[in-house]
């Protein structure tokens, strides 16, 4: 897969690179000009897939999609997120195993075309993510917007180049999205509490803990050591504080959503205590219901 990312067939048009270069330099990400076509392609494809889902889903799923009028936007957004996770995570796994030599020699400022192209592609998706989460912030929640916007900034500024290696490392987090979105769709297909959802839930917890918590904390530690450890790179300057802030935010959201996810799974597969009530919880910016023995107001599950 790394060879595919290095292929000359992925080279963008010279006129686009030349025309975009001045803006890229003003923003402070000069290497973006050479790969901006992948950002444009990824962002446009995300909006297109969202629209395709909205048009085709009523015909492909006539017994489900028309009945969830208040959740049709969520359905379409999940389709796009699912597609990105299936595309990005295999490339991320491969790039971690086979990083560019330039990245190995200089983790802070090394430039590898494969990593740059993958990060540019991810930037396009997260631009879409930030836009749609801002449009739906009243229903999706602030956490969903912060995640999309934060990832957009983090991936964009790797194209200075700076910390290009972080792209594949942190795209591994999207591996859990494959099972998270499957869990969401199983609910919508009326398979809540089914054996299939239980099996998916086991994979979801395993993927989430492995990719976002264990792998995420390990890579965060490596990042902080690069900034502040005994062998810290003195060239990183003040920009490191931006990445430290984003790193703390993303890890905080991961742990917050993990608690919410476990509560949601518990509600589906563990018999509630007598008199238990429900509270609204948030999973990756999505509100759902979870049982609670407190005296909180009961909210109906949609």
pLDDT digits (tens, 9 = 90+) for 119-145: 999 999 999 999 999 998 887 788 889
Chain segment 70-97, per-residue pLDDT in tens: 899 999 999 999 999 999 999 999 999 9
Q: pLDDT value at position 69?
A: 87
The answer, yes or no, to whether residue 104 has pLDDT greater than 70, is yes
The answer, yes or no, to whether residue 282 has pLDDT greater than 80, is no
The answer, yes or no, to whether residue 283 has pLDDT greater than 60, is no
Residues 111-123: what's their mean pLDDT?
A: 96
Whether the pTM exceeds 0.75: the reply is yes
Comparing 91-105, 168-182, 232-246, which segment has the lowest mean pLDDT?
232-246
The rounded percent of the chain whose pLDDT value lies above 90 is: 73
The answer, yes or no, to whether residue 163 has pLDDT greater than 90, is yes
Q: pLDDT value at position 45?
A: 98
Comparing 27-31, 66-70, 119-123, which segment has the lowest mean pLDDT?
66-70
Q: Residue 234: which pLDDT band, with cuts at 50, 70 and 90?
A: confident
The answer, yes or no, to whether residue 299 has pLDDT greater than 50, is no
Q: Which residue has the higher pLDDT, 2 or 110?
A: 110
* 3-class secondary structure per residue, the chain: CHHHHCCHHHCCCHHHHHHHHHHHHHHCCHHHHHCHHHHHHHHHHHHHHHHHHHHHHHHHCCCCHHHCHHHHHHHHHHHHHHHHHHHHHHHHHHHHHCCCHHHHHCCCCCCCHHHHHHHHHHHHHHHHHHHHHHHCHHHHCHHHHHHHHHHHHHHHHHHCCCCCCHHHHHHHHHHHHHHHHHHHHHHHCCCCCCHHHHHHHHHHHHHHHHHHHHHHHHHHHHHHHHHHCCCCCHHHCCHHHHHHHHHHHHHHHHHHHHHHHHHHHHHHHCCCCCCCEEEEEEECCEEEEEEECCCCCCCCCC
The answer, yes or no, to whether residue 292 has pLDDT greater than 90, is no
Chain segment 164-209, per-residue pLDDT in tens: 999 999 999 999 999 999 999 999 999 988 999 999 999 999 999 9
Q: Residue 273: which pLDDT band, with cuts at 50, 70 and 90?
A: low
The answer, yes or no, to whether residue 65 has pLDDT greater than 60, is yes
The answer, yes or no, to whether residue 298 has pLDDT greater than 50, is no
Q: Residue 237: which pLDDT band, with cuts at 50, 70 and 90?
A: confident
Q: Which residue has the higher pLDDT, 280 or 228?
A: 228
Q: pLDDT value at position 173?
A: 95
The answer, yes or no, to whether residue 288 has pLDDT greater than 70, is no
The answer, yes or no, to whether residue 300 has pLDDT greater than 50, is no
């Amino acid at each position: 897969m790394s060879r595919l990312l290095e292929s000359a067939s992925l080279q963008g048009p010279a006129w686009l690179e030349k025309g975009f270069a001045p803006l890229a330099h003003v923003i402070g990400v000069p290497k973006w000009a050479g790969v901006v076509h992948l950002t444009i392609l990824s962002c446009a494809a995300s909006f297109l897939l969202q629209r395709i889902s909205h048009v085709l889903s009523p015909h492909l799923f006539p017994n489900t999609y028309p009945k969830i009028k208040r959740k049709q936007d969520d359905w379409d957004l999940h389709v796009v997120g699912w597609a990105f996770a299936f595309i990005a995570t295999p490339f991320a796994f491969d790039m971690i195993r086979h990083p560019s030599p330039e990245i190995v020699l200089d983790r802070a400022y090394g430039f590898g075309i494969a990593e740059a192209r993958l990060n540019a592609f991810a930037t396009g998706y997260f631009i879409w993510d930030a836009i749609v989460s801002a449009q739906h912030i009243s229903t999706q929640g602030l956490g969903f917007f912060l995640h999309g916007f934060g990832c957009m900034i983090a991936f964009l500024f790797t194209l200075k180049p700076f910390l290009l290696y972080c792209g594949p490392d942190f795209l591994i987090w999207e591996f859990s999205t494959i099972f998270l979105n499957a869990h969401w769709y199983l609910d919508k297909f009326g398979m809540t509490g089914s054996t299939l959802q239980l099996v998916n839930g086991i994979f979801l917890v395993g993927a989430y803990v492995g990719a976002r918590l264990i792998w995420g904390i390990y890579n965060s530690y490596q990042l902080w050591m690069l900034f502040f450890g005994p062998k810290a790179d003195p060239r990183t300057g003040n920009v490191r504080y931006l990445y430290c802030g984003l790193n703390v935010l993303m890890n905080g959201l991961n742990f917050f959503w993990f608690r919410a996810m476990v509560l949601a799974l518990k509600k589906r597969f563990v018999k509630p205590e007598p008199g238990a009530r429900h509270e609204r919880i948030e999973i990756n910016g999505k509100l759902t219901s979870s049982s609670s023995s407190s005296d909180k107001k009961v909210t109906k599950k949609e």
